[in-house]
């Protein structure tokens, strides 16, 4: 295996880098560089810029707007995107629902939904998990009962990221109560403006509003919004979850976090020099760099194998990438937190007066703690590490 990039790939990298440098709006870039979350407007604006260039849905089939790039080019594109501090294209649209519509939707659904998904004219959220159905997703209880050309949907979803900002939700529902639990599930697209949809916030450890409860009370959903066959939704969900797990590794993001930690550590005084010069910091940063490089090579190898496979069954090796990628996301966020030191605290006690005072540090330090705290969830969402290890044990090790 030749691990060097070819001259053509390096030229491609230059083209992508120049594109990001010249068209990424500065205010969006500055926000991402500081570790802040882009707003819904930022995400939509940026994705439309990418879409106009033909680069919003790079991994889709070319007939639906994809680029036809091979694994290495896809990888280079994402790496440059993170290095440029660009937001990633909306993953629920581009990586999750879009490929399902392409693989399992009918022609009419493809023509209607795919251009709108690519351009974020429809902003999607993912309605899979429920209060009693997370790791054991097939236990979901949200019911859809057929009534003529509609389904009547009733139930509750939980942990639904961006539901408060979304226009649409792709959703798993139970359409057959009598079948084996995996066999009675269907995959619906639900308009969030439908009567009977209520969204309530769930605040997370970082103090942010990312996730929600979604209540569905007799919501009417046209049967034409069902993707694929009735009661085959579990098969489509497994395909989607494989794509989600490839994504949650986000090596490029961890690399750019490590790069930022190095840059910032060079500005933090320590022991008459800087934190970046200290042995302890260099050792930690180097260890993370090596692990990221190993994961990068493994990812390219697995993605290349996946690309050659036919059919829609997902490769269980993707679970290994998810475990390691999410752990490295957490480790790089922890390093940034260490660099920020006491400035990562929002408030501190003033020992002299006993008063609770705001802790004012450099602007970049303010996001270190919320990001660290939010990323505790990286080994949970998209399927917890324990569940990924079960998949590896069963499907790779044969235990």
Ligand X SMILES: Cc1cc2nc3c(=O)[nH]c(=O)nc-3n(C[C@H](O)[C@H](O)[C@H](O)COP(=O)(O)OP(=O)(O)OC[C@H]3O[C@@H](n4cnc5c(N)ncnc54)[C@H](O)[C@@H]3O)c2cc1C
Residues that bind ligand X (CB under 6 A): 125-129, 134-135, 159-161, 204, 210-211, 377, 380-381, 383-384, 386-387, 390
Measured between alpha carbons, how far is 78 from 61 in angstroms, rounded to an integer?
A: 17
Do the Cβ atoms of 125 and 90 come closer than 8 Å?
A: no
- Nearest to 102, CA basis, from 56, 63, 140: 63
Q: Least distance to ligand X from the beta carbon of 264, Å?
A: 26
- Pairing relationship of beta strands 226-227 and 185-191 according to DSSP bridges: antiparallel
Among residues 262 and 389, whose Cβ is nearest to ligand X? 389
Question: CA 85 to CA 154: how far, in whole Å?
Answer: 41
| Residue of minimal Cβ distance to ligand X | 134
Residue 203 or residue 280: which is nearer to ligand X going by CB?
Answer: 203
Contacts of 39 (CB under 8 A, 6+ apart): none
Residue among 38 and 65 whose Cβ is closer to ligand X: 38
Q: Which is nearer to ligand X, 10 or 135 (CB)?
A: 135
CA 267 – CA 365 distance, rounded (Å): 12
Q: Please identify, using beta-carbon distances, which residue of 32 and 172 lies nearer to ligand X.
A: 172
Minimum distance, C-beta of residue 163 to ligand X, in the bound complex (Å) = 8
**Least gap, CB of 211 to ligand X (angstroms):** 5
With respect to ligand X, which residue has the nearer C-beta, 205 or 294? 205
Nearest to 104 by CA among 274, 324, 312, 307: 312
Task: Answer whether 186's CB lies under 8 Å from 231's CB.
Answer: yes
Q: How far is the CB of 117 from ligand X (least distance, A)?
A: 16
Closest approach, Cβ 156 to ligand X, in A, equals 12
Residue in 155, 88, 95 with CA at minimum distance from that of residue 126: 95
Rounded to a whole number of angstroms, the minimum distance from the CB of residue 134 to ligand X is: 2
* Minimum separation from the CB atom of position 381 to ligand X (A): 4
Choose between 61 and 380: whose C-beta lies nearer to ligand X.
380
CA dihedral (214, 219, 223, 225) in degrees, to 10, reads -40
| Nearer CB in complex with ligand X: 16/96 | 96
Taking the complex as a whole, the smallest distance from the CB of residue 130 to ligand X amounts, in Å, to 8
Question: How many CB atoms within 10 Å of residue 253?
Answer: 20
Burial of 313 by CB count in 10 Å (0-12 exposed, 13-18 middle, 19+ buried)? exposed
Instruction: Report the alpha-carbon distance of residue 244 to residue 96 in Å, rounded.
Output: 7
Rounded Cα gap, residues 62 and 324, in angstroms:
31
Question: Which of 160, 138, 319, 330 minimizes the C-alpha distance to 245?
Answer: 319
Nearest approach, Cβ of 92 to ligand X (angstroms)? Answer: 7
C-beta of 211 vs 320, nearer to ligand X:
211
Whether residue 167 contacts residue 193, with contact meaning beta carbons closer than 8 Å, is answered with yes
């Amino acid at each position: 295996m030749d691990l060097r990039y070819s001259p053509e790939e390096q030229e491609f990298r230059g083209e992508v880098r120049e594109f990001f440098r010249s068209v990424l709006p500065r205010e969006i870039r500055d926000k991402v560089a500081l570790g802040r979350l882009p707003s819904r407007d930022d995400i939509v604006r940026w994705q439309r810029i990418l879409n106009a260039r033909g680069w919003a849905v790079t991994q889709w089939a070319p007939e639906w707007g994809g680029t036809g790039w091979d694994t290495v080019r896809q990888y280079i594109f994402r790496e440059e995107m993170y290095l440029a501090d660009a937001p990633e294209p909306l993953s629920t649209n581009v990586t999750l629902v879009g490929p399902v519509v392409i693989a399992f939707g009918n022609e009419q659904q493809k023509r209607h939904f795919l251009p709108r998904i690519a351009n974020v004219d429809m902003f999607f959220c993912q309605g899979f998990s429920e209060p009693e159905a997370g790791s054991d997703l097939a236990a979901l209880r949200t019911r859809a009962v057929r009534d003529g050309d509609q389904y009547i949907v009733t139930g509750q979803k939980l942990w639904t990221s961006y539901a408060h900002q979304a226009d649409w939700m792709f959703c798993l529902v139970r359409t057959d109560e009598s079948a084996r639990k995996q066999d009675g599930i269907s995959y619906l697209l639900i308009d969030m403006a439908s009567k009977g949809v209520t969204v309530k916030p769930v605040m997370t450890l970082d103090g942010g509003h990312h996730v929600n409860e979604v209540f569905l009370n007799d919501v009417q959903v046209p049967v034409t919004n069902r993707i694929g066959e009735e009661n085959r939704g579990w098969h489509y969900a497994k395909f989607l979850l494989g794509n989600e797990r490839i994504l949650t590794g986000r090596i490029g993001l961890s690399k750019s976090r490590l790069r930022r930690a190095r840059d910032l550590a060079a500005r933090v005084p320590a022991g008459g020099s800087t934190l970046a010069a200290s042995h302890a910091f260099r050792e930690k940063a180097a260890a993370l760099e090596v692990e990221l490089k190993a994961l990068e090579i493994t990812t390219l190898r697995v993605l290349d194998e996946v690309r050659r496979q036919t059919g829609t069954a997902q490769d269980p090796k993707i679970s290994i990438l998810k475990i390691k990628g999410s752990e490295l996301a957490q480790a790089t966020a922890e390093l940034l937190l260490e660099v920020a030191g006491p400035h990562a605290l929002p408030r501190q006690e003033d020992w002299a007066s006993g008063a609770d005072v705001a802790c004012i540090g450099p602007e970049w330090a303010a996001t270190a703690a919320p990001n660290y705290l939010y990323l505790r969830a990286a080994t949970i969402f998209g399927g917890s590490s324990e569940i990924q290890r079960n998949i590896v044990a069963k499907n790779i090790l044969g235990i």
